[in-house]
Amino acid sequence: MYSYLKEHFDIRTAGITIALVIVGVVSVYSATYDAKASEIFQKQLLWVALSAVVFLIIVFLPYRYLQFVSWPSYFFSIFLLLAVLLVGRKVSGSTSWFSLGTMRLQPAEFAKITTVLALATYLARSDVTLQKVKYLALAAGIVGLPLLLILMQPDTGTAIVFIAMFLPLLYWAGASRFTLIAIVAPPIAAFAALFGTTAFLVAVVVLGVLLYLTKEHRIVAAVTFSVMVMVGLSVQLIYDRLKPYQQKRIATFLDPNADPLGAGYNILQSKVAIGSGGLFGKGYLRGTQTQLNFIPEQWTDFIFCVPGEEFGFIGAAIVLLLFMALLLRGVSIGSTVKNKFGSFVAIGLTAIIATHVAVNIGMALGLLPVIGVPLPFLSYGGSALLASMSMAGLLMNLYANRKEY
């Protein structure tokens, strides 16, 4: 029995997942303890129980079934993304939710997983090579369809996760360095343009040199360089067409002190909370920013403030180490799985988790704009927790069947 479990049950991924869920439950309880929001914690406990059941089901699903349902689940998620645009509930400016009584369900969270499954199935085909433009375009289309529907909600944060998931998968599937640089160059140039002309010019020069050094497709490189420059120059025009709340988020990211009592309030209070924790923290349920509710609805996007303030640098470091261990585990599974489909799935799921962690904690520290990306396993929310537990379950399933071709 022990040898069977050692061979087929990934105790490390299971242990990390359980530890993160416990940290999440403890953090949500603290965040809602003195906020007259006990029903939030009770709902989270229900989601934890449901997610645990889904997690176990996925862990023990027949391996081949995952690939069999990849395309049906992908098209079903597309249907849900279309449906939510028509009958969904608008929350914080985005029509992203289905209301199920007192519960809410966000189909975009599950579309990330189904898109990884479909893309992995496509890339695992023996006739697909990313050195040919048509295959690369089809791969981009698989990601682009749900991405477009999510942008229509609009949900910029989730859209960014799709893009960030796509690039590591392309790399893992054998895309050239030129292809990867050509894809990331325009958004990097646009991001740099937000910081002014100097930052934009530096980005253009660096990316231009990288494109040149690849020594591939000179004409395509010239076109890519031109597109990159045009995208950077059009940033101001695009910014003027954004909705006011989107403009506020960008302006707050660039200078949180510009509106300290408005758009910049959450970021400033989050930085105060994390910074005030010191080395060992203020003690559980004793965080002043947390317990006095200085951060509105901190149990969602700013949940990282709780361990940061109440358990200090040590607590925050433990959370980061748990995530790092999970990400390294995901890459390890992707490297050892014999089946190409399984390898691609593992890398895609790991990329999703990594993006969520980087963006969410970057938001909490004021290093990135607030774009509504939850922290996996920790943030309150049924859809996010179900998706996170499903991804952990899939990684464990892949580990158990890592020797199958």
Q: In whole numbers, what is the pLDDT of the chain averaged over residues?
A: 85
**Cα diameter, the chain:** 64
Q: Is the pTM of this model over 0.85?
A: yes
More confident residue, 402 or 392: 392
Q: What confidence score (pLDDT) does residue 97 get?
A: 77
Q: What confidence score (pLDDT) does residue 4 get?
A: 59
Q: What confidence score (pLDDT) does residue 35 get?
A: 65
Q: What confidence score (pLDDT) does residue 237 get?
A: 79
Report pLDDT digits (tens) over 208-237. 888 888 766 677 778 888 888 888 788 777
Q: Which of 3-12, 59-68, 282-291, 357-366 has the lowest mean pLDDT?
A: 3-12
Average pLDDT over residues 276-297: 79
Report pLDDT digits (tens) over 342-384. 999 999 999 999 999 999 999 888 888 778 789 999 999 888 9
More confident residue, 121 or 262: 121
Q: How confident is the model at residue 73 (pLDDT cuts 50, 70, 90)?
A: very high
3-state SS string over the chain? CHHHHHHHCCHHHHHHHHHHHHHHHHHHHHHHHCCCCHHHHHHHHHHHHHHHHHHHHHHCCCHHHHHHCHHHHHHHHHHHHHHHHHHCEEECCEEEEEEECCEEECHHHHHHHHHHHHHHHHHCCCCCCCCCHHHHHHHHHHHHHHHHHHHCCCCHHHHHHHHHHHHHHHHHCCCCHHHHHHHHHHHHHHHHHCCCHHHHHHHHHHHHHHHHHCCCCHHHHHHHHHHHHHHHHCHHHHHHHCCHHHHHHHHHHHCHHHCCCCCCHHHHHHHHHHHHCCCCCCCCCCCHHHHCCCCCCCCCCCCCHHHHHHCHHHHHHHHHHHHHHHHHHHHHHHHHCCCHHHHHHHHHHHHHHHHHHHHHHHHHCCCCCCCCCCCCCCCCCHHHHHHHHHHHHHHHHHHHCCCCC
